[in-house]
Structure 1
Amino acid sequence: MMKKIGCLLLVFNCFISAICCAQETVDFNNPKIFYMGRVPLRDTAAELSWTGASVIINFKGTAVKATLNDEKGLNYYNVVIDGKVANVLKPAQGEKEYTLASGLSKGKHQLQLFKRTEYDWGRTWIFSLSVDGQLLPPPVFKHRIEYYGDSITCGMADEDTTGKDRGDNDFENGFASYANVTARYFNADMHCIAKSGIGITISWFDYVMPDIYDRAYAHDTTRWDFNKFTPEIVVINLFQNDSWLVKAKDHEQFKKVFGNNSPTPQFIISRYREFVKNIRSKYPEAKIICALGSMDATQAGSPWPVYIQEAVDALNDTNIYTHFFAYKNTPGHPSVKEQNAMADDLIAYIKRTFKW
């Protein structure tokens, strides 16, 4: 009898061991995969383009692989395991399987594949995931935040420690942006609609944020379904590029947008007000923070915080707020350290104002 029990226990243990060591492979649209950010699900793959777009899974196992295809081979991703950046991945053009994690301790883990770079470096398609173990239910976040911003929000040049302020993909890390640092602090699901060089009235190129804010992918006219994500807080940090370009009369975009004369304050204020009204129409219940900074648009004497305040006052909406980051008073874009200072500022403001 004891021998039979022993044999049964051995068979049971082998069965459990086989389950634990089994590989589970799932397609991109499996409900156990959580997508953070504005990630449209296409016919054969999920499409990641915006800064911070992420694939997140909970699992019990020791290794994870993903089948990816990068449009240009220029994007960088942080592989975040159990809340810590484990490595950086630069997927190549063409469909290929990548090992995201291996040799993990047995037990439960969370993995996030986080897009560090903005959409002009290309899109990435994810086709499937394989886990040496078992996928678990997806994460549940405590809060939801959406951002609309420019290079500051993207984290452009935040890792360029040479002082050259290079906008190359090698030095851009949206994971270190104040936007993502703040979202992580509050355990918030984050959508980040941002582009270096973009403005509300004018950009360094031939479109502005009001042209693309409602797109699933910036260079595609397909509209995003705003019912898929309803933020509690929306942060708008725009006007830095406008503040430079409205004075650049020789720039081709100035000539195209304004002709020969700089726009009046009334024009600038009205355009900002209309953009905020568009955001409000998508999210009737959200708290909207109209922010600015921390580059020279918030230095002493700048009219741009005043423009924003006047636009907000005219909207007469008690759930729209203003918050201006202190001018960092250093050359170039915010460094990682300066991004963290911005995050500390925004975190304190949200805690104080909304009691999060």
Structure 2
Amino acid sequence: MNFSSDAAILYWSGSNINLNFKGSEISAILKDSDTANYYNVIIDDSIVSKIQLNTSKQTYLLASGLSYKKHKLQLFKRTEWDKGTTSFYGFETNEKTKTLPKSKSKKKKIEFYGDSITCGYGNEVQNGKDSGTGHFENNYLTYAALTARHFDSQYSCIAKSGIGIMVSWFPKIMPEVYDLINPNDPNSKWDFKKYTPDVVVINLLQNDSWIVNLPKNEEFIKKFGNQKPTEDFIIKSYENFVKSIRAKYPNTYIICALGNMDITKEGSKWPSYVSKAVVNLNDNKIYTHFFMYKNTPGHPKVNEQAAMADSLIAFINEKIKW
């Protein structure tokens, strides 16, 4: 999230705005740079609606007809930054609604670096197929957000569908954007001293694992020329990205995860690449955790995301004893 002179600007999946209020209705003034962004309206920890934003600055009625008492509101960005940015100009209340002091910050913090799996690409498609439209993407029901809520922790999500560590389906790679407030502005560097997570989860390489085998792919040619990267190069590239996270967070637990798509399918070499990188790092606060291959078409749906969350929660309870 960034701030202009009169608005907060939202970019990344899972960005959220919170308000405590007493009243029966609440509205927000919003403007989108596109029409592909969707938000969950969450009242008292329950999703009450999904709203699609417009490119005109307007007031959106988020909830009405509530019992007149104290409520907590969360406006949660379901969609990722390729759907455009959102400008938030503030909440709007009627004469009977009173805003209340903000809640105390959650003590625990967890941060995720990932691709379409972590974004929630197509996770609400019902027919088993995939869809890249914002309507079917819900970051709130990803393994990442579910895990964060289970531990009642602050949630930070740096993720983009199609992104990789060495190569992506588009020009940007994660090492080039992970430290940006605005992923389209290389000068918008984030100050990592403002937020230090207790746990970082990295779930990347799914896209790399495909593109390194596509020598005619435009991004392959840009990154590698005509030579497929060696296993040592892959391991070192992953190792270097984890090192960059460790440099930002010297004492944070880091979980190097993979899956649950075909990168963890039986016979895949990619888990061994991650394992070797972690061994090379020789850091007793860095772990590996590989999600079971889902063995279904397309991207993980809501139930498969929930299974991933259960797996990650159990792992954190076992290893970190959070």
Number of residue pairs matched by the alignment: 318
Determine helix, strand or coil for the equivalent of 2:55: coil
Q: Percent sequence identity over matched residues?
A: 52
1:246-265 correspondence to structure 2 within 5 Å? 246-265=212-231
Contact 1:142 1:186 in 2 (8 A): no
Residue 175 of structure 1 deviates from its aligned partner by: 0.9
Q: Which residue of 2 aligns with 1:353?
A: 319
Deviation at 1:130, TM superposition (A): 2.2
- Assess if the C-alpha contact under 8 Å between 2:36 and 2:133 holds in 1: no
Contact 1:60–1:135 (8 Å) recurs in 2 = yes
Of the candidates 159, 163, 178, which is equivalent to residue 143 of structure 2? 178
Letter in 2 for 1:326: M
Tell me the SS of whatever aligns to 1:68: strand
Equivalent in 35, 38, 54 of residue 92 of structure 1: 54
* Post-superposition CA distance 1:91-139 (Å, at most 9, x none): 1102111111111111111110000000000110101112342222222
Say whether 1:149 aligns with 2:114. yes
Does 2:69 match 1:107?
yes
Q: Equivalent of 2:254, from 288, 296, 300?
A: 288
Map 1:216-295 → 2, pairs under 5 A: 216-221=181-186, 222-295=188-261
Q: Select which of 56, 61, 65 maps to 2:18.
A: 56
Separation in 2 of the partners of 1:208 and 1:188?
27
**1:289 CA displacement:** 0.5
Instruction: Give secondary structure in 1 for the equivalent of 2:179.
Output: coil
Question: 1:203-229 CA distances to partner (integer Å, 9 max, x unpaired)?
Answer: 001110000000001101210111221
Residue identity opposite 1:278 in structure 2: S
Match 1:303 to one of 248, 269, 278: 269
Name the amino acid aligned to 1:214. Answer: D
Of 103, 107, 119, 2:81 maps to: 119
Distance 2:149 2:55 in 1: 30
2:294 corresponding residue in structure 1: 328
Q: Is the 8 A contact 2:141 2:306 kept in 1?
A: yes
Gaps of 5+ in 1: 1-38
Amino acid at match of 1:135: T
Query: Any runs of at least 4 consecutive aligned residues in structure 1 with deviations exceeding 4 A, and if so which?
Result: none
RMSD: 1.0
Which secondary structure state, in structure 1, belongs to the residue aligned with residue 24 of structure 2? strand
Aligned residue in 1 for 2:100: 136
Equivalent residue for 1:196, pick from 154, 161, 167: 161
Distance 1:131 1:341 in 2: 39
TM-score (norm 2): 0.97
Is the radius of gyration larger for structure 1 or structure 2? 1
- Whether contact under 8 Å (1:292, 1:298) holds in the other structure is yes
Q: Distance in 2 between matches of 1:353 and 1:59?
A: 39
For the residues of structure 1 that align with 2:198 and 2:36, how far apart are their CA atoms?
33
Work out the CA distance in 2 between the residues paired with 1:131 and 1:145. Answer: 32
Write the distance in 1 (CA, Å) between the matches of 2:299 and 2:243: 29
The runs of 5 or more residues in structure 2 that have no matched partner are: none
AA aligned to 2:267 is G
SS in 1 for 2:2: coil
CA-CA distance at 1:346 after TM superposition: 0.6
User: What is the CA-CA distance between 1:164 and the residue it aligns to?
Assistant: 2.3
Q: Which moved more, 1:172-181 or 1:138-147?
A: 138-147
The 3-state SS of whatever aligns with 2:118 is helix
